[in-house]
Amino acid sequence: MSEMSRLRWLCRRGMKELDVVMQRYLENSYETATAAEQERFRELLQMPDPDLYNLLLGRDITDDPGLARFVRQLRIGPGQH
């Protein structure tokens, strides 16, 4: 299984809202992202759905400033700042 296929599979979450956000990033931004951004994305894919959902909605925060920036980027979407 290729890396993109594996990531596509991991983007299939238990919540439609997460599916949309994660798949949108994978399809529109992942391949052109920096290595650090790709690592952040893979890190998020390892999180349980409730934790990821709360982080993306801003209900939870992270102490990691790099991850916090990346989560803000995911919330905004591709091509928007």
Q: For the domain that residue 11 is a member of, what is the CATH number?
A: 1.10.150.250
Asked if residue 70 is part of any domain, the answer here is: yes
Maximum Cα–Cα distance across the chain: 35
Percent of the chain whose predicted confidence (pLDDT) is above 90: 80
Q: How many domains does the chain have?
A: 1
Q: Is residue 81 part of a domain?
A: no
pTM of the predicted structure, to 2 decimals? 0.88
pLDDT in tens, 12-43: 998 999 999 999 999 999 999 999 999 999 99
Whole-angstrom Cα distance, residue 23 to residue 17? Answer: 10
In a domain, 59, yes or no: yes
Domain range for 38 is 3-76
Q: Residue 73: CA atoms inside 13 Å, Cβ hemisphere, count?
A: 19
